[in-house]
Amino acid sequence: MLTDSDSERLTAPSWSRRHLLDLDDFAASEIELILDTTDAMKEVLSREIPRVPALRGTTVVTLFYEASTRTRASFELAGKVLGADVINVAASASSVEKGEALLDTIRTIQAIGADVCVLRHNVSGAPYIAARESDFRVVNAGDGSHAHPTQALLDAYTLRVHLGDIRGRKIVIVGDIAHSRVARSNVWSLTALGAEVVVCGPPTLLPHGLDRLAPDAEERDFPPVRVEKHLDIAIEDADAVMALRLQKERQANGLLPSLREYSRLYQVNNDRLARAKPEALVLHPGPINEGVEISTEVAHGARSLVEEQVTNGVAVRMAVLYLLMRGEPPA
Amino acid sequence: MLTDSDSERLTAPSWSRRHLLDLDDFAASEIELILDTTDAMKEVLSREIPRVPALRGTTVVTLFYEASTRTRASFELAGKVLGADVINVAASASSVEKGEALLDTIRTIQAIGADVCVLRHNVSGAPYIAARESDFRVVNAGDGSHAHPTQALLDAYTLRVHLGDIRGRKIVIVGDIAHSRVARSNVWSLTALGAEVVVCGPPTLLPHGLDRLAPDAEERDFPPVRVEKHLDIAIEDADAVMALRLQKERQANGLLPSLREYSRLYQVNNDRLARAKPEALVLHPGPINEGVEISTEVAHGARSLVEEQVTNGVAVRMAVLYLLMRGEPPA
Amino acid sequence: MLTDSDSERLTAPSWSRRHLLDLDDFAASEIELILDTTDAMKEVLSREIPRVPALRGTTVVTLFYEASTRTRASFELAGKVLGADVINVAASASSVEKGEALLDTIRTIQAIGADVCVLRHNVSGAPYIAARESDFRVVNAGDGSHAHPTQALLDAYTLRVHLGDIRGRKIVIVGDIAHSRVARSNVWSLTALGAEVVVCGPPTLLPHGLDRLAPDAEERDFPPVRVEKHLDIAIEDADAVMALRLQKERQANGLLPSLREYSRLYQVNNDRLARAKPEALVLHPGPINEGVEISTEVAHGARSLVEEQVTNGVAVRMAVLYLLMRGEPPA
């Protein structure tokens, strides 16, 4: 559907997923298939008329229990570029008032005829319920502190554009690791792709017991990663640093001493970047608290990929919608 | 527009309505025309690419003064499947803040160029004002405790699919009859189609004076129906039972003793269904308070048509939009 | 894109703007180019299928920090008629909650790939920030008390339809001049088009120092206009009277004595209109506080252009979107 050519790949990589819920069980080859498909979608977006009818007739429902300008609009545009119809349901403002529980809303959306439901929910695991209780495809657009797979995929895509192969690269994730679905999904995808991942943050914001994880642990939240409490150490020779958004409400819980203290110890700034590789990249899922997680000069500097991440987000989401609906990459 | 054939029906049934405001003056033939058109729309929805350009160029505005995920999304998809452009206006969250009254908003929506306005409003009769003060077609998507005609039409359609002819069938509507626009519209349509309708509920939730209605009453809210305060009696030999959603705020008004008491006397459960016909069907406009109006096992059992009702809602709304805009059924 | 003809204008008028932020520096020829393009868009809207693919592939984001049914829906329909995809972002209800500042949201919307951002913001000047910090085209849909250029353009278009040439016509703007972005934009466009503009209102609602403005003032908010505190005097021999919406909260600030007093002195009614030209026209940006700014009989009388203004708003916004994206008027 994306090209005029009749030729098809003789050996198309296989795609067998019905849903995108988490990346914890994704093989490197599956992630790479999404990233390769993202390349094809970037080409579509570069056209003079960046629209294709690949998903014409498809109904995508975005069901957001948390507000998010960027993620919802990114999915909405991804669907529209591919010719799908997109129906937005802001659940916080509508169904919840009338006591419609998640399950009921899921069943309603399915019964209406949705093909894909893009679900953001404040409760970890909600997308699994949606996938289990419906026939449609589910894309997790962020659930509680559990996972945000399309964010991690756009991060991986953006890193791959700049670093080439991610294998063997040292990537530091810094911030509130314990509560971050972005961190969690990135750890899974980046380790699957062969990166050396280091997570870094204040002890109160690191997952309990993370540093006790053995490589062969049976039950674990994370794959084995190195944990480092000092950013100055973690960042040494890093190829990329990903700062996470700090939720200021953590202070109320006593988990965070002060923004000033946090910035002093964990802000990504030029001084700290001097310890990383010379061309080290800086990522952030946005929106940045400028001067807290990242210094203003770094946030707007040449190494910052923040806006490129957002741009790549549309193409990554196109790739995900395409693969889930068509079951194979574009020819 | 729905078929490739040039042939037209020689004797197309007539359709002469500009608006769908209520079903109180609909003849059986008109309701059946909508249900037949719904059959054609179900066929469209079953296609590999379930989209037709039948209403291309048409602007549908959904104007909702009450939040409703399912009804708004159902109309939005119905419009999009037919190729219309759909613009959503959530009046509670926007115009009302700036003091825009209904009438002003109606005139604005007309002046902008809407062809159809799908209106939900908490005040009974609001769609009549919209119809009187504008040139566009009005679809009542629920007004106060007055009417919800597309809900009744999807209920009639769903019953027809399972029962064949509705004529002579015994259908019990149970719950808060007095305040229910769903009950009211269903009573009109089901009696028009020749069903034997029994309404049942606590005395405080039955319309005042309903049981005094004579078959030849000149002025009445309802056509003649049987009123029965005991569900165990009402349900005897029923072909279908339609439970209404209980608004829990009725308790605050003293109209409802307790949910436990209500469930004990009026819940549709397997014990009660044993008194109905063996294949008796169960309907509910949703969302269900599970364990109150309907027992959990019945809600998810084989007799429950709840999700099928939602599915049929899209096709029924396509039929209504089509008939109002085109003035005749599809060839 | 609008006609089947291959012929092109030999001497197409030039259009060189990237944004529509204000009308303060627009030449008459530029405004007339927009109004001529609006004529072409009115023709499109009069077609049996009022849709053209002129902006197919274009992404329009409406970003509204203030609620407005009419303006947002008008832009949304304008985009859709031209084949653009429209994504609505109600910033008040989403991003602001998560602390996304305007600048961050602007960068996100750009990174997502918006071609045009239609921005309404309660802070004067916000669209300038959006234009400076992004690559997309910005349409100011109302910013603080600064400007509302598409409103002024639809007013000018509506006046031109009825008056022919605006040059030399006397147009009175009455109401809260000091706080009105509608007044300000209209003063700029109407004076550019050669009208004799008189602004009129209670002294507390006139801009400070406005009556001291000399025709050659270097720094000024307004071009030279006549200021008149008495509507009975201002309205003499007027060709048109434009009443502004009164924000009732001005009373809380002590700027407005009472609605009764305001109506007595500044209401546009038949008595006052008797002093204007016999066919004098009445405009209002809506929504009207009926009986305050305009008497009910005038608001719904033959001279009132209020609904026509709204209707023309869609065509004007189509013209603006078209010119900004295509860089020249339709052939």
C251 touches chain B (CB under 8 A): no
Using a CB-CB distance cutoff of 8 angstroms, which residues of chain B are in contact with residue C308? 111
CB atoms within 10 A of CB C25: 10
C77 touches chain B (CB under 8 A): yes
Which residue in chain A has the smallest CA separation from B315? A112
What is the predicted pLDDT for the residue at A91? 81
Comparing CA positions, the residue from B37, B42, B8 lying closest to residue B20 is: B37
ipTM over 0.85: yes
What is the predicted pLDDT for the residue at B220? 54
Residues B304 and B180 in one domain: yes
pLDDT tops 80 at residue B105: yes
Contact in structure between B73 and A112 (CB atoms under 8 Å): yes
Residues C154 and C233 in one domain: yes
pLDDT tops 70 at residue C211: no
Residues B221 and B297 in one domain: yes
What is the predicted pLDDT for the residue at B60? 98
Burial C257-282 (b: 16+ CB within 10 A, else e): eebeebbebbbbbeebbeebeeebbb
Using a CB-CB distance cutoff of 8 angstroms, which residues of chain C are in contact with residue B110? 307
- Band (pLDDT 50/70/90 cuts) for residue C3 is low
**Has residue B52 been placed in a domain?**
yes
Comparing CA positions, the residue from B65, B149, B145, B150 lying closest to residue B106 is: B65
Q: Which residues contact B4 (CB under 8 A, 6 or more apart)?
A: none
What is the predicted pLDDT for the residue at B210? 54
What is the predicted pLDDT for the residue at A1? 53
What is the predicted pLDDT for the residue at A294? 97
Residues C142 and C186 in one domain: no
Strand order in the sheet with B281-283: B226-228, B196-200, B170-174, B240-243, B281-283
- Which tokens sit at B227? 């009123």
C230 touches chain B (CB under 8 A): no
Contact in structure between A144 and A124 (CB atoms under 8 Å): yes
B111 touches chain C (CB under 8 A): yes
Residues A103 and A210 in one domain: no
- Which tokens sit at A180? 């971050």
What is the predicted pLDDT for the residue at B207? 79
What is the predicted pLDDT for the residue at A98? 44
**Has residue C331 been placed in a domain?**
no
What is the predicted pLDDT for the residue at A93? 44
How many domains does the structure of chain B reveal? 2
**What does pLDDT average to over chain B?**
90
Question: Tokens 């990329």 belong to which residue?
Answer: A240
What is the predicted pLDDT for the residue at C153? 98
A69: closest CA of chain C, how far (Å): 6
Using a CB-CB distance cutoff of 8 angstroms, which residues of chain B are in contact with residue C90? 93
First-last CA distance in chain C: 8
Using a CB-CB distance cutoff of 8 angstroms, which residues of chain C are in contact with residue A80? 59, 85, 87
What is the predicted pLDDT for the residue at C68? 87
Range of the domain at C16: 4-147+310-326
CA–CA separation, C12 and B42 (whole Å): 50
B310: closest CA of chain C, how far (Å): 27
pTM for this prediction: 0.93
CA–CA separation, C79 and A71 (whole Å): 22
As a whole number, mean pLDDT of residues C155-171 equals: 97
- Which tokens sit at B135? 């040139």
DSSP B290: B
pLDDT along chain A (331 residues), means of 10: 49 82 96 98 98 98 90 98 96 51 90 97 94 96 96 98 97 95 96 97 80 45 84 98 88 79 96 97 94 96 96 98 96 84
Burial C59-90 (b: 16+ CB within 10 A, else e): bbbbbbbbbbbbbbbbbbbbbbbbbbbbbbbb
Residue B233's H or E segment, with its range, is helix B231-234
- Band (pLDDT 50/70/90 cuts) for residue C219 is very low
Residue A30's H or E segment, with its range, is helix A28-45
Contact between C111 and A308 using a beta-carbon 8 Å cutoff: yes
Residues A142 and A184 in one domain: no
What is the predicted pLDDT for the residue at C277? 98
**Has residue B277 been placed in a domain?**
yes
**Among B42-51, B70-79, B85-94, C242-251, which stretch is predicted with the lowest mean pLDDT?**
B85-94
- Band (pLDDT 50/70/90 cuts) for residue C215 is very low
What is the predicted pLDDT for the residue at C223? 76
DSSP B304: B
Residues A95 and A166 in one domain: no
Residues A252 and A316 in one domain: no
Residues A143 and A169 in one domain: no
Three-class SS state of A250: helix
With contact defined as 3+ CB pairs under 8 Å, the chains touching C are A, B
Q: Pick B100's closest partner by Cβ from C74, C287, C314.
A: C287
**Has residue C185 been placed in a domain?**
yes
CATH label of the domain that carries residue B67 = 3.40.50.1370
Express the helix, strand and coil content of chain B in percent, nearest 5 each. 40, 15, 45
Q: Pick C108's closest partner by Cβ from A49, A93, A286.
A: A286
Using a CB-CB distance cutoff of 8 angstroms, which residues of chain A are in contact with residue C85? 51, 77, 80-81
What CA–CA distances, in Å, run from B245 to B179, B249, C204, C240?
10, 12, 54, 55
pLDDT tops 80 at residue B254: no
**Has residue B331 been placed in a domain?**
no
**Has residue A266 been placed in a domain?**
yes
Residues C66 and C180 in one domain: no
Question: Tokens 């066929």 belong to which residue?
Answer: B43
Residues A64 and A95 in one domain: yes
B314 touches chain A (CB under 8 A): yes
**Has residue A209 been placed in a domain?**
yes
With contact defined as 3+ CB pairs under 8 Å, the chains touching A are B, C
What is the predicted pLDDT for the residue at C256? 78
Quote the percentage of chain B above a pLDDT of 90. 77
pLDDT tens digits, one per residue of B172-192: 999 999 899 999 999 999 999
What is the predicted pLDDT for the residue at B9? 42
- Band (pLDDT 50/70/90 cuts) for residue C254 is confident
Residues B83 and B225 in one domain: no
DSSP B228: E
pLDDT tops 90 at residue B279: yes
- Band (pLDDT 50/70/90 cuts) for residue B221 is low
**Has residue A331 been placed in a domain?**
no
